Structure 1
Amino acid sequence: MPDILEDFETSMQGKLIVKFSGESVVKAMNPLPEPLSITLSNLDLLSGRFPVTYIYFFGRPKLSVDFGALVESLKSSLSHTLDYYYPFAGQIVQNPKTSEPEIFCDNNGALVIEAHANIPMKKLDFYNLNETCQEKLVSIQPKFPLQIQVTDYTCGSISIAFTFDHALGDASSFGKFLTSWSEIAQNKPLSSLPDHSRHLRARFPPKYHPFLDHTFIKCTMEDIQNMPTNHISLKRLYHINASSINMLQRLASVNGTKRTKIEAFSAYVWKIMIGTIDQSYEKCKMGWLVDGRKRMGGRGSRNCMSTYIGNVLSLTFGEARVHELKEASISETAKIVHEAISKVNNEAHFLDLIDWVECHRPGLMLAKAVLGQEGPVLVVSSGRRFPVSEMDFGFGSPLLGTVYTSVERIGVGYMNQRQSGRGDGSWTVSAILWPELAAALEVDPIFQPMSASHLQL
């Protein structure tokens, strides 16, 4: 311990150093009587396997809490949560017959890592996530589909990073898990019980619209390892005021047609984006992740999949000529966005997508754009299901919550928005960008590089 303190004291220039002090494996309190294998759905297979991290920053607890006691409390409530979310305590293994991954629910457990930062939280670089997160506030051990890193700061503040294997689910699934965990930590009844059925299966015989062949492709691991990255490597975090979001929505909504905030935001970003790509491109694409839960199940069943744990995602893309986008208004660009999202925002599309995967199994499948095959593309997703204020484990709600990925080879840019922790309608936007786009956003009046002042630290 004296060595750790000495190392901390020698760093006087505010450079973040994180020391790891302990690891433990947390298992479900009341596991299944026998191990159970869960076959992944076709949409799980399409989403692939890579780590997705949700990281939250909490101010110093109002009541003085010893860090060790706080971690033990988290582990105790996690153990109870895993009773309900038993796949999250399992292992991702290869089925010997199909060679496809499946979840082996054997209560192998979730990994909890304890760490200590040498600076107060207000000294963190919240804008440059490359510098702050990788192997510091977020550490990855592939053996565990769920791992949690709890880090304390010299000011008594805490960050918690939750890293999930994408095979476990999507943003909606992870949001349900975290919300349930926080409810258990507060001794509240669960607001919903998870559905682990993974029942999204192909029709017989399978059939699909031909346009899916233009969007998705079967690929190999070599294709993924050799994908052109288009210089996409900068991981950044922004704050956007509610007034700016509302202004964009007003600009996008004309002639009695109201556009959503995400449509208006996408239109604005798309117009910035076209100024940052090589001018040899005549056309430019933007993509959107779409959750199919409200679309599946037929009419009158809008909430039948609200508790479904797994992946129910599709990708859609809009394309337009660069010179037309430059001349278009926000409302005209938002119309292109709306039409692209509407194309997949229905049950028929998701049934077709499930069948498309069935026709291309076994093997890896991705959107062509994700493989970097279609030039610079930015994919936008809405974090409406990303819990922030709900994330109270007994020591208060977080000041900030965001998404992070440790994946290094990325073929497309990403931008994900969610409500900020301020509760005033403002947004937190995380992004993975190419240098020219990052530079353009640095001088943009709407995108504010995230800082401690936004968290009122």
Structure 2
Amino acid sequence: MVSTDFSVQITKSSAVKAAHWSSEPYILSLSNFDLISGRCPVTLFYAYLKPHRGDFSMVVAVIKSSLEEVLGHYLPFAGRIIPNAETGQPEILCNNEGIEVIEANANIDLACLDFYDLSQSLQKNLVPFQHEIPLRLQVTNYSCGSFSLSWTFDHALADATAFYLFLRSWSEVANNKPISKHPDHRRSIFQPRSTPTYGPSLERIFYNCTLEEVLNTPITNDISLKRLYYIEAADVESLQERASLDGRKRTKIEAFSAYLWKVLATTVKESDTQCMMGWAVDGRRRMSGRMSNLIGNAISMAVGEVSAEDLKQSSLSQVASVAHEAISEVANEAHFLDLIDLVECHRPGLVFPKILLGIGGPGMVVSSGRELPTTTEIDFGFGPPVLGTCYSTMARLGTGYINPQPSAKGDGSWVVFALVWPELVAALESDPEHVFKPITATHLGLTL
């Protein structure tokens, strides 16, 4: 039976450092892409069945020993983010101070967690974010012998692509395998041009602001509900087929976004005539040079804007075409070079996507984890996870946030994290197509 009446007791906390550290501390400057992140916390939650060998103490021992080894390749992750003495802007002090690893016990079976209403369950398992420690891990043992790993890291340290590369390297070390993709820490390759310049399209997407403005942005919707959904593979395929009816094949994310956008339009107030949709776009594949293994941030934001009435009247394929055009406008090297220059022109102020502040009307941001390593690759030698998802501990956000990832089943189904408001939850769950299904332990292969 699903329960929210449980407690988590922390039993130990320790700092894990790189095993082979011989250099003096050094400073790693953040790139202009890193500065766009806004220092927000990012959390990942992975759940694993009871290991076939060993117990929880063995799990912790393997996690810590392999972490010591892999940190030799990811020294910035064991450092601290500090303000520059002259500019006040953040930079990474690579001093091997270590990653905090917290050990905990939960008096509940993993299958009894409420995986749907994450505010009632995962919030008790997550690692509180502290700016002083850019990366923390909590290893939680459950009554049934299962365990979970929850990481919280500072977005200035890495984006999702970089952090998943770290997790894959870590799991390879834990399984006594060589690291398949060696990290590239050259954040300095993202330099502004000698005469910084950028086009007007960036000013449409980004906003030059202060931290105080970000923290005090008026929030019109109660974007506080944190839900986890399951989307069947057949529904994913059906959306893509319908979005491609005009003869141009659309991606699964474009089709999914079109569906979400149309549902969003049914929830807005009469005074909100426009609906926004944003997409996180990775620049690694769009910029020249070999940077697939780049550690840090290389993310921009694509934004589309359509009237609520047009969204209601348009077909799924028509809305998917709008999504495609918006993403294509950003998915090129010229855009990312302009973005580097935009941030440079506004130093030391912040440059932040307007949609995240709720500027322009109600909206959603889709940040897909579908191109990242599969959930099953994050295996530390005790079997693959039954669930891998992101989570947000942020208290304020001006827009909804959706993160679809392949489920651990590997059959084309998705697990979708949603940070949304009540009206959108009601619309998604009452939609006749039933694409968004509240996730249960059964979807994860767990037995109550």
Is the Cα contact below 8 Å between 2:7 and 2:124 reproduced in 1? no
Q: How far does residue 100 in structure 1 lie from its aligned partner after superposition? A: 0.6
Deviates more, 1:211-220 or 1:326-335: 211-220
What are the Cα deviations for residues 170-216 of structure 1, in whole angstroms up to 9, with x where unaligned?
Answer: 01100100000000000001111100010211001001001211221
Distance (Å, rounded) in 2 between the aligned partners of 1:44 and 1:137: 24
Match of 2:307 among 295, 316, 321: 321
Q: How far does residue 23 in structure 1 lie from its aligned partner after superposition? A: 0.3
Is the Cα contact below 8 Å between 2:18 and 2:96 reproduced in 1? yes
Distance (Å, rounded) in 2 between the aligned partners of 1:405 and 1:23: 23
Match of 1:305 among 264, 268, 291: 291
**1:337 maps onto 2:328 in alignment:** no
Structure 1 segment 404-419 matched on structure 2, within 5 A: 404-419=391-406
Residue 270 of structure 1 aligns to a residue whose secondary structure is helix
Q: How far does residue 142 in structure 1 lie from its aligned partner after superposition? A: 3.0
Match of 2:197 among 172, 189, 207: 207
Q: How far does residue 31 in structure 1 lie from its aligned partner after superposition? A: 1.6
Structure 1 segment 56-455 matched on structure 2, within 5 A: 56-63=46-53, 65-198=54-187, 199-229=189-219, 230-297=221-288, 301=289, 304-383=290-369, 384-444=371-431, 445-455=434-444
Distance (Å, rounded) in 2 between the aligned partners of 1:306 and 1:202: 20
What are the Cα deviations for residues 98-148 of structure 1, in whole angstroms up to 9, with x where unaligned?
Answer: 211000000010000011111101110001111112243333333211110
Is the Cα contact below 8 Å between 1:16 and 1:124 reproduced in 2? no
Deviates more, 1:179-188 or 1:157-166: 157-166
Is the Cα contact below 8 Å between 1:151 and 1:160 reproduced in 2? yes
Distance (Å, rounded) in 2 between the aligned partners of 1:224 and 1:45: 14
Q: How far does residue 365 in structure 1 lie from its aligned partner after superposition? A: 1.9
Over the residues paired in the alignment, what is the CA RMSD in angstroms?
Answer: 1.3
Q: Which residue of 1 aligns with 2:34?
A: 44
Q: Which residue of 2 aligns with 1:7?
A: none
- AA in 2 matched with 1:438: V
Q: Relative to 1, partners in 2 of residues 1:13 and 1:206: Cα closer, same or farther, differing over 3 Å?
A: closer
Distance (Å, rounded) in 1 between the aligned partners of 2:138 and 2:181: 26
Distance (Å, rounded) in 2 between the aligned partners of 1:140 and 1:99: 21
What are the Cα deviations for residues 248-289 of structure 1, in whole angstroms up to 9, with x where unaligned?
Answer: 000001243100000000000101011111122222111111
Distance (Å, rounded) in 2 between the aligned partners of 1:288 and 1:95: 31
- AA in 1 matched with 2:348: P
Q: Which residue of 2 aligns with 1:4?
A: none
Q: How far does residue 68 in structure 1 lie from its aligned partner after superposition? A: 1.8
- AA in 1 matched with 2:283: G
Residue 200 of structure 2 aligns to a residue whose secondary structure is coil
Note the residue ranges of structure 1 that are not aligned, 5 or more in a row.
Answer: 1-11
Q: How many residues align?
A: 440
Distance (Å, rounded) in 1 between the aligned partners of 2:91 and 2:127: 25
What are the Cα deviations for residues 418-444 of structure 1, in whole angstroms up to 9, with x where unaligned?
Answer: 110011110011010011001112223
Distance (Å, rounded) in 2 between the aligned partners of 1:412 and 1:62: 43
- AA in 2 matched with 1:43: F
Distance (Å, rounded) in 2 between the aligned partners of 1:68 and 1:256: 56
Q: How far does residue 13 in structure 1 lie from its aligned partner after superposition? A: 6.3
Is the Cα contact below 8 Å between 2:279 and 2:303 reproduced in 1? yes
Q: Relative to 1, partners in 2 of residues 1:236 and 1:13: Cα closer, same or farther, differing over 3 Å?
A: closer
Q: Which residue of 1 aligns with 2:8?
A: 18
Q: Which residue of 2 aligns with 1:9?
A: none
Q: How far does residue 386 in structure 1 lie from its aligned partner after superposition? A: 4.9
Is the Cα contact below 8 Å between 2:175 and 2:380 reproduced in 1? yes
Q: Which residue of 2 aligns with 1:6?
A: none
Is the Cα contact below 8 Å between 2:276 and 2:355 reproduced in 1? no
Residue 123 of structure 2 aligns to a residue whose secondary structure is coil
Residue 66 of structure 2 aligns to a residue whose secondary structure is helix
Distance (Å, rounded) in 1 between the aligned partners of 2:254 and 2:279: 10
- AA in 2 matched with 1:292: G
Q: Relative to 1, partners in 2 of residues 1:32 and 1:167: Cα closer, same or farther, differing over 3 Å?
A: farther
What are the Cα deviations for residues 45-97 of structure 1, in whole angstroms up to 9, with x where unaligned?
Answer: 0112011011100011122x221221121100001010000000000000011
Distance (Å, rounded) in 2 between the aligned partners of 1:431 and 1:91: 30
TM-score scaled by length of structure 1:
0.94
- AA in 1 matched with 2:360: E
Is the Cα contact below 8 Å between 1:115 and 1:152 reproduced in 2? yes
Note the residue ranges of structure 2 that are not aligned, 5 or more in a row.
Answer: none
Is the Cα contact below 8 Å between 2:127 and 2:150 reproduced in 1? yes
Distance (Å, rounded) in 1 between the aligned partners of 2:60 and 2:128: 17
